[in-house]
Structure formats: C-alpha cells, structure tokens
Structure 1
Amino acid sequence: MEMKQPMTTASLRRVPTRYFVLLTNARVQGVDTAQILSTAGIDGARFDQRDGTFATAEVDAFVQAANHVTGREDLGFELGRLIKMNSHDLLGYGLLSCHTAHQLMCMASRHYHLMTEAFTLNYQRRPGAPGEATYTPTIAMPDVTLRFYLEAVAIAHHNQLRLMLGPDAPAYDVYLSMPEPSHVLRYQALAPTRFHFSESALPGVRVVMGADLLDQPLPFGDAQVVQQIDERCSLLGSRPLTGHFGWGEYVEMVLRAAEGEQVTLDDLARRLNVSARTIDRHLRAENLAFRELSEKVRFQRACEMLREPGATIKHVALKLGFSDTANFSRAFRRVVGVTPTAYVNDAARPFPPLTQPDSSLTSS
C-alpha cells in the first residue's frame, strides 16, 4: 500500500519532550539533565511545557550530550525502562483500555506517530497465529541516536507488556539491529523475554509474539473508551511519510546498518510499507538510484575494512559476499576507481561521496 501523505522536511519531525523528562524525574544515577541540556544547547524551560517537542536535530544533540556527560551507553535502555502506558498522554489511556495485547498492538500501530515521528510501527498477524511488530526509523540519524532509540523502543515494548500482563507473561522474542551492548546482562535479566542482537539486519526492532500472549485478556478492557480515544487520536493528524527528507541519506543509513546483508529495493519497500516505485521515484528526484547507492555503501565498507590492521583482500572479498578476489577486485575498481591494492597503498585517497549525483540520472 502506497502512502499518500505529502513530503515534509526533517526539521518538522517531532518527539514529545515528555519522554526525556522521565530521565529527569527518575533521578537516574549519573544523569545531570541540566548539564546535558546546557551541553546540547537546549533551553531547559522547554521541559516544563506540557506539549513540548524536540526536533530531530535536538534529539541528536541531547543523546550525544547525554553520552558525553554521563559516560554511559545504556541511557536508551534506562529510558525504555521508565516508559509506561500513561507516558503516552491521551493515546496511553486508550491502550490501557484494550481487551487484549493484540488489540493494543493494532491501536498502537495506527497512532504510533503520536508517540514519536522518528519511528513507525507496523503490526501484522493472521487470526490465531503469532504476531509481528516492526519498529522502523523514518529518517536518517547518527549511529549513536539510532542505538539510543533502538534500546528505548525495545525495552519500552517489554516494560509495557510486562506491566499489563504481569510477571508470568509468556516468553517472546525481540530482535535489535545493533551489536550486543556492553550491558547485555541487563537484557538477560529480563527473561523470559528473549533479546537478540544483529548488525546485519535492517535498522529497527522486530518483536515476535505468540498467540498465548496476544490473546491473553488485559485487566482494564473497556470497548467504549477504546473507541472514543481511537476516534480522538485519528483527529490529531495522520502518520507522516517515511523517509520524507533526504531519501538518499535515509537509504544510505539503512544499507550501512544492514552490514553483511544484500538489501534489495523490494526488501526496503516491504519494510517501509511503500512500493519500490515510490522509493525509486524519490531517489531519482535527488539524481540517485538504489543500485548505485547500494554499490557505494558496499564498497565504502570495503575501504574501511581494507584499512583495518591485518586485513587482506581475500578476507574482505569473502566478508562482502564475493566468491573470489578477482571478481571483488574488478568490482572495486569499477566503483572506487582503483584496485584494492592501490587503494591500500594510497592512504590519503578519499572514498567517493555516497550521495553524489549520478550524471546518467540528471534531468534534462
């Protein structure tokens, strides 16, 4: 299904400040919010605004400042641990009133943009079968921000289900597209929920839940409240278009995050719930093409790997999926302009920018 919302700019994507306030109110060890905001150049008075929001650039600044000030790598985990249903304002009360976790996931997926416009939630399930919830970034973001979000989203999902279903909730699986963190023991302590980490997956969080969990009755079910809040949330605006700004930058982020996987245009389209033609059209508007971006991302990674201590051309070729070094060398020279050996010997040689216009795609 192709989304019809108009394209906007990245600066218009908003995240409610009420989520970041949770880190302040909880007095998390080592988190000096005033210093973080000062370092990030954000006015602390904005935390006092009931409907305050951060732009995506401000979220990036906040996360980078928080990591610098605290020296901690688990602040996304901490934030997710603090998020409850009532953290979501009006929508949260609707979610609390759902009869089952399945109904809750359906409602959350319809209105997830009211929680954050930086990610989208897609939930799919056949009757009586397991369900799958996929949280996908909607914009390009720095690696540190992406990992912060991934942890916050994954742990918030776990925490809210646990609070609704109780400590005896059935086990299920959560997949995060990031390396195993140094604080992995914190995840293991959340058993029976099983957390899996992979650097080669498309960026996002994927949650697979069985029918035993999804069909379990929730304690505060109220169909009338759900209907009323669902209608009110629908009046608050529609979900923004995914990948709305800088499609080349966005696709580049996705391809880089899926290290080791040959992501196709169809793979990306299915994940974003848009058509492959939609993505292709937006890329062409920027004088780009998916195939060229994919190749350049792949060989940028090759350049990085070739300059690692002890790296060999054969090892890099195999790591990137080539059957032999000859094929790799020919493809490398076609994309980068020199052979792998020449590239290694010329330490000052830069890699071509990923989003440079392809002259063959330039409009006449």
Structure 2
Amino acid sequence: MVTSGRAWFTPGIPGIYVVLLCDVLSGLGHDPAPLLRRLGTRREQLLDPEFRLPLERADLAAEAALALVGEAGLGFRYARAMRITLHGPVGLLALSSATIDDGLEAARRYLGLRAPFLVVEREPLGDGRQALCLRTDFGPGPVRSFVIEAMVIGFVHMLEQLMEAPPEGAEVHFQGPPPAHGEALRKAVSVPVRYDQPRDALILSAGLLAARPRLADPQSEALAREQCELEFRRWRANQEGPLPERVRAALRDGEGAPPDLAEMAERLAVSARTLKRHLQQAGLTYRELQDEVRYRRARKLLSDGTLSISEVAYALGYNDVANFSRAFKRWSGRTPGAYRGGGPGQAG
C-alpha cells in the first residue's frame, strides 16, 4: 500500500474512482471481484486517500469493466454516480467559487490532480458561448469513448450540483455517430446531447458561465484554493522530478512511434549519457520503456480494428511485420492476430 506523502503524487488516479467503478458495476448486476483480482488490489487499498493507481492499471480496469457491461453505456452511468465531493479540495473549490465560470476554470486547472490522462481546453465560439473541449491520450476504441463520455457528462453533473438545478444554457457535443446506448444517454442527461460534432465538448452560454453556485462562499473558496495549489505544486514537482518518470510521461503523451534515446534526451534537455545513467540507476533501460508504450498502443490499435496488422506495425515504428509480431508475442504471449481474434492462433 502506498503510504508516503511523496508517493501520493506519483502518476495515476485516486483509488476512490476505481471504487466508484466497482459500485457502478454492482448496480448493473456485475460482480466487481474479478476486476479487483485482475488489478491485484483490494477495495481497502483503493479507499486509502493516499493510494494512486498507475495509468496502465487504470486502463486495464476500464477494459475489464467495459467487457462486462458491453453496450449498456458505462460512461454516462459512471458520471451520474459521481459526486463532486469525491474530488476532494478540487470539488470544494468548484462548489464555493463565485461564478460557474470560476468553478469550471478551477476544475480545468487542477484536473491533473485527479485525471492526469485528460486535457481540457477552453474555446470561445464567437457568440458569447464557450466550449470546454476534452481530449485524452487514449487511442481510438472503447476505453477512449468511455473516458470522454464519462468526463463530458461528469461536467454536466457537476454543473447540476453547483446550481442545484438543470444547467440551462449547456449542451453536450460528441464526435462520431450515436452509440447503441445513445438514446438512453439522452434521456438520462438534463441538457441537449448532439453527435457528429467537430469536437468532444461541453458548450456553455454566457449566462450560465456568469451564474452563481448555490454554495458560493469566499472563505471556503480561499481555503480550498490554497489546498489545491499546495497539491498542484507537489504534483508539478513530481512531474518534473525523477528522470525515469519524466521519460514515461513523455512517451505516454506522445503519438506514433516512440522517439529514440537521443531524441528523448534532447526533449528532456539532458545528454543521452545522463539519461541512460539515470535509467540504469532505476534498474531500467530505454528499450523497456519504449516497449511499455508500444505494447499499450499496439493493444489499442489491434482492438480498434481499423488498421491491418502490418499498418499497426508501421505505426509503431517497425519496418518489418515479423519483428513486430515477435515483439508482441514476447510482451503478451500471443501473436497480434491471436490477440485481435481473442484466442490462440497466428498473425495474419
């Protein structure tokens, strides 16, 4: 179990969010015990306020949950179960802010403390409205759809809690066509939901942004902001801290084939020799870290099914499909074709 204050800020998500996922699964009639066994953790560990689940294991949790639920719409159901108080000081700051605009900006600024895999950007739309645009480093596929849906609807639910009423002047926009559970989602959400849009975003009117949350309180806001800033400085210090973790973060946030050692060293403003030495001191090699991200991206691309196996290989920087197949079998124990097909077999 993670217990030190420093470890609290290692990359990952608070365990309480996985507890909530387990509770949502239970509410849908599924036993969450196999998911916890797959993660190698217990509910008691996840409830520890200092526990952080690494992003790779959080990814596994989402995959396992989606496999159980199928087309039932796990994302919006998860968002509906979320309470703003579960976000700790970040939620308190949003609740006590002077305006909805201030509360949303606080949530956006400190999002890395709770969801380091997500980026939220504000985009003015020219008619007084603004868009909170969401993007994530998850590749195309069910996990990305789950994360985006949960976060966008989660912002709607946060607005409902700030206003203690349906947030008039808000709309939800999703890229792509409606999913199988699209009609159920529309009925469950208190604002218009539109698909086939240019962005995944929450659209907000000027009037809604200027509205005052029901629990606005300057003293509570100041205290919560002080707590958030303290956490944020520690989190940023850790992001800029141990070189191996900075390498992992840079690889995770990139796209396409991972850069080579010299390119990564240049990106991190250190020499290749220094980078190699720090990795050796941590018992790692750059090749191992490259393989971590290649394996994660390979699983996403193979599961998505849009690209052929040879195209997946080239996207990951392999010039030879056979080399990619051997590497993937070393990582997973299965060929790419067997992984895509869900059983034993050879890559096609």
Q: TM-score range by the shorter chain?
A: 0.5 to 0.7
Alpha carbons 2:172, 2:192 under 8 Å: kept: yes
More displaced, 67-76 or 56-65? 67-76
Is structure 2 residue 70 aligned with structure 1 residue 66? no
TM-score (structure 2 length as normaliser): 0.63
User: What CA distance in whole angstroms lies between the structure 2 residues aligned with 1:195 and 1:126?
Assistant: 17
Match of 1:7 in 2: none
User: What CA distance in whole angstroms lies between the structure 1 residues aligned with 2:215 and 2:46?
Assistant: 31
Residues 73 and 245 (structure 1), Cα distance of their counterparts in 2 relative to 1, 3 Å cut? farther
Match of 2:209 in 1: 214
- State the AA in 1 paired with 2:229: S
Residues 305 and 181 (structure 1), Cα distance of their counterparts in 2 relative to 1, 3 Å cut? closer
| Bigger RCO (CA 8 Å, 6+ sep) | 1
Give 1:210 deviation, angstroms. 0.3
Residues 1-364 of structure 1 aligned to structure 2 (within 5 Å):
13-25=11-23, 27-123=26-122, 129-137=128-136, 139-141=137-139, 143-190=141-188, 193-198=191-196, 205-238=200-233, 244-246=249-251, 250-252=254-256, 350-351=310-311, 353-356=314-317
Question: Could you give the per-residue CA deviations for residues 114-167 of structure 1, whole angstroms, max 9, x where no partner exists?
Answer: 221111222355999322212221x34562221111111011111111222244
User: What CA distance in whole angstroms lies between the structure 1 residues aligned with 2:254 and 2:232?
Assistant: 23
Alpha carbons 1:23, 1:31 under 8 Å: kept: no
Alpha carbons 2:12, 2:116 under 8 Å: kept: yes
Question: Could you give the per-residue CA deviations for residues 292-340 of structure 1, whole angstroms, max 9, x where no partner exists?
Answer: xxxxxxxx9xxx8899xxxxxxxxxxxxxxxxxxxxxxxxxxxxxxxxx
Which structure 2 residue ranges, 5 or more long, are not aligned? 1-8, 241-245, 258-263, 273-285, 287-300, 320-348
Give the secondary-structure state (helix, strand or coil) at the position aligned to 1:134. strand
User: What CA distance in whole angstroms lies between the structure 1 residues aligned with 2:17 and 2:182?
Assistant: 23
Residues 146 and 282 (structure 1), Cα distance of their counterparts in 2 relative to 1, 3 Å cut? farther
Alpha carbons 1:105, 1:123 under 8 Å: kept: no
Name the count of aligned residue pairs: 261
Alpha carbons 2:73, 2:185 under 8 Å: kept: no
Identity %, equivalent residues? 19
Residues 306 and 104 (structure 1), Cα distance of their counterparts in 2 relative to 1, 3 Å cut? closer
Match of 1:346 in 2: none
User: What CA distance in whole angstroms lies between the structure 1 residues aligned with 2:48 and 2:149?
Assistant: 26
Give 1:251 deviation, angstroms. 2.7
Give the secondary-structure state (helix, strand or coil) at the position aligned to 1:245. helix
User: What CA distance in whole angstroms lies between the structure 1 residues aligned with 2:316 and 2:306?
Assistant: 21
More displaced, 183-192 or 118-127? 118-127
Q: Alpha carbon RMSD of aligned pairs, Å?
A: 3.8
Give 1:171 deviation, angstroms. 3.4
Alpha carbons 1:99, 1:219 under 8 Å: kept: no
User: What CA distance in whole angstroms lies between the structure 2 residues aligned with 1:165 and 1:223?
Assistant: 17
- State the AA in 1 paired with 2:87: H
Which structure 1 residue ranges, 5 or more long, are not aligned? 1-10, 254-278, 287-299, 308-348, 359-364
User: What CA distance in whole angstroms lies between the structure 2 residues aligned with 1:43 and 1:136?
Assistant: 30
Alpha carbons 2:168, 2:208 under 8 Å: kept: yes
User: What CA distance in whole angstroms lies between the structure 1 residues aligned with 2:205 and 2:82?
Assistant: 23
Residues 185 and 234 (structure 1), Cα distance of their counterparts in 2 relative to 1, 3 Å cut? same
Alpha carbons 2:94, 2:162 under 8 Å: kept: no
Alpha carbons 1:17, 1:53 under 8 Å: kept: yes
Q: Which structure dedicates a bigger proportion of its chain to helix?
A: 2
Residues 25 and 167 (structure 1), Cα distance of their counterparts in 2 relative to 1, 3 Å cut? same
